[in-house]
C-alpha cells in the first residue's frame, strides 16, 4: 500500500471522529495556503482576504474543539510547497493552545520532503515534527501477497500469477506499489489477449518489455527482460500453477486500477481492439500495436485494426510502416464505403508527408469522386495537383 492509499484509508476510518481536510494539489507558486485549507474543510468557496480567511479558520478550530473534535489537516505531495508555504503552516500550528491540540498537521510526500525539512531555514518547522516515517518498498514476499490480495478482492483466483511471475514483478518494480499495479495490469491485458491460463514470468516480461521501450516507466532489470522475452515458455512454471476455474467468466475490472480496464464483450477481439485504441490515445503506441495486431487476426477487425496500427506508426514517426499498414487495411474486401474512404484519406496524407505527391493526389481525387464533401479532400487534391504542375525548387531537386 502506497502513501496515497494509506491517506485514503486514514480518512475513511477517522473521518467521522475528526474533521479532516486533504490538500492534494497546492504548489509552491501560490500566494497563500490558507484558502486551499479552507476549501479542503468545506469552509469557504469564495475568495477571502488573508485576514478574513485566518478568522474563519481560527473560529472553526474553536468550535470544533468545543465539540471535542480535532481538526486534522493532511498535505499530500508536501514537497511541492516550498519553504514559504511550509512556514505558513508552522504559523497556523500556533493556534494550538498549551496542551490542547486543536489542529494536527500531517505532511505526506516524496523523499524530497525529507531533504527540504533538513534545510537550515526549515529548522523551526522541523523541530515541531513529532513523528516521521519513511515507507519502505515492499519485499519480494510482500509483493506476492499484495498481488494475490488484489486478485482475491477483485474476485479472481489468488494464484493467477505464478510465484516466478510475482518474483519478476518485484525485481522490475523494486517493490514500488504504483509500479507493481502498472506492471500487473498490463500483464493481465497480455494474458487475456493470449487466453493464457495463468500469468507466467514470460508474460510479465513481454508486457514489461513493451511498456519499457519508451523508457518512461522506471523499471529495473532491463537486461533480464531482454533475455526472458526471447526464451521459450517454462512448461514447469505453468504445470506448477494451481488449476483455475474452468467455466468461462467475464473479465473483471482490473484489480490493479492504475488505468481504466475495458470489459470483454464475449470474444477477445472487441476487447483487444478497444484496448489498443485506448492505448494509442494515451500515447502508448508500441503497446497498442501489439493489441491491435492480435485483434486484426479476426477478419471482422482487419481493416479497423490495421488502420489504427497505421496511426500508431505515424505517431511514432515511422511513415513507411504506417503506409504499409494502411495498404493492408485496404485489402479488406468486406469493408464499407465509409471505412475505405477514411483509410484512403489517412494513406493519402501520409504519402503526402513523405513526398509521394502523385499517389496522394490520385487517392484524394478518388475520395472526392465517392464523397465530394469528405473533410478537406477536394481542397487538398487541387493543391497537390497544383504542386505537381508547378513544383518548387526543392521539389525539382535544387
Mean pLDDT per 10-residue interval, the chain, length 398 residues: 79 86 75 85 78 89 89 89 85 79 88 88 86 88 93 84 92 90 88 84 86 72 73 68 50 48 48 83 84 83 90 91 92 86 92 89 90 87 75 49
Superfamily classification of domain 268-396: Tetratricopeptide repeat domain (1.25.40.10)
C-alpha angle with apex 120: 119 to 124, nearest 5 degrees?
A: 100
Beta bridge partners of 22: 74
**208 and 172 Cβ atoms separated by less than 8 Å:** yes
The pLDDT of residue 391 is 56
Query: According to the model, what pLDDT value does residue 293 have?
Result: 86
CA-atom Rg of the chain in angstroms: 29
Short-list 259, 275, 121, 315, CA closest to 193: 275
**By C-alpha distance, which of 307, 284, 285, 281 is closest to 296?**
307
**Please, what CATH class does the domain formed by 3-127 belong to?**
alpha beta
Cα 24 from Cα 51, distance rounded (Å): 24
- From start to end of the chain, where are the E strands? 19-23, 71-75, 103-107
Q: Which cell goes with 2?
A: 502506497
260 Cβ neighbours under 8 A, 6+ residues apart: 278
Domain boundaries defined on the chain:
3-127, 140-239, 268-396
Judge whether 153 and 181 are in contact, CB under 8 Å. no
The DSSP element (H or E) to which 34 belongs, if any, is helix 34-40
Q: What's the CA angle centered on 294, arms 290 and 298, to 5 degrees?
A: 155
| DSSP at 80 | G
Q: Are 240 and 206 in contact (CB under 8 A)?
A: no
Amino acid at each position: 500500500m502506497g502513501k496515497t492509499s494509506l491517506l485514503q484509508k486514514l480518512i475513511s476510518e477517522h473521518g467521522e471522529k475528526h474533521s479532516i481536510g486533504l490538500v492534494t494539489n497546492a504548489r509552491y507558486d501560490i500566494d497563500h495556503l490558507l484558502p486551499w485549507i479552507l476549501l479542503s474543510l468545506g469552509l469557504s468557496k469564495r475568495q477571502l482576504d488573508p485576514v478574513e480567511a485566518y478568522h474563519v479558520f481560527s473560529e472553526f478550530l474553536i468550535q470544533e474543539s468545543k465539540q471535542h473534535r480535532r481538526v486534522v489537516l493532511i498535505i499530500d505531495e508536501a514537497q511541492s510547497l516550498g519553504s514559504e508555504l511550509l512556514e505558513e503552516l508552522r504559523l497556523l500550528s500556533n493556534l494550538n493552545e498549551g496542551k490542547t491540540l486543536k489542529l494536527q498537521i500531517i505532511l505526506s510526500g516524496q523523499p524530497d520532503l525529507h531533504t527540504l525539512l533538513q534545510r537550515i531555514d526549515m529548522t523551526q518547522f522541523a523541530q515541531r515534527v513529532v513523528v516521521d516515517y519513511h515507507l519502505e518498498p515492499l519485499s519480494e514476499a510482500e509483493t506476492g501477497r499484495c498481488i494475490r490480495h488484489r486478485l482475491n478482492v477483485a474476485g479472481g483466483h489468488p494464484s493467477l500469477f505464478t510465484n516466478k511471475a510475482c518474483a519478476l514483478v518485484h525485481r522490475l518494480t523494486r517493490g514500488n506499489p504504483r509500479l507493481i499495479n502498472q506492471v500487473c495490469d498490463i500483464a493481465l491485458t497480455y494474458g487475456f489477449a493470449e487466453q493464457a491460463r495463468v500469468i507466467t514470468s514470460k508474460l510479465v516480461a513481454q508486457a514489461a518489455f513493451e511498456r519499457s521501450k519508451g523508457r518512461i516507466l522506471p523499471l529495473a532489470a532491463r537486461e533480464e527482460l531482454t533475455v526472458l522475452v526471447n526464451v521459450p515458455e517454462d512448461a514447469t512454471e505453468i504445470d506448477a500453477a494451481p488449476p483455475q476455474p474452468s467455466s468461462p467468466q467475464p473479465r473483471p475490472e482490473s484489480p490493479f486500477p492504475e488505468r481504466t480496464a475495458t470489459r470483454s464483450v464475449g470474444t477477445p477481439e472487441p476487447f483487444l481492439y478497444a484496448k489498443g485504441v485506448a492505448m494509442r490515445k494515451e500515447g502508448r503506441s508500441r503497446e497498442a500495436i501489439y493489441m491491435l495486431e492480435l485483434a486484426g487476426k479476426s477478419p471482422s477487425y482487419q481493416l479497423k485494426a490495421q488502420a489504427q496500427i497505421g496511426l500508431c506508426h505515424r505517431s511514432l514517426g515511422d511513415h513507411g510502416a504506417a503506409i504499409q499498414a494502411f495498404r493492408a487495411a485496404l485489402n479488406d474486401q468486406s469493408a464499407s464505403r465509409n471505412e475505405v474512404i477514411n483509410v484512403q484519406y489517412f494513406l493519402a496524407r501520409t504519402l503526402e508527408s513523405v513526398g509521394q505527391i502523385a499517389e496522394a493526389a490520385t487517392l484524394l481525387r478518388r475520395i472526392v469522386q465517392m464523397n465530394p464533401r469528405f473533410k478537406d479532400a477536394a481542397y487538398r487534391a487541387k493543391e497537390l495537383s497544383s504542386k505537381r504542375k508547378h513544383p518548387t525548387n526543392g521539389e525539382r531537386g535544387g
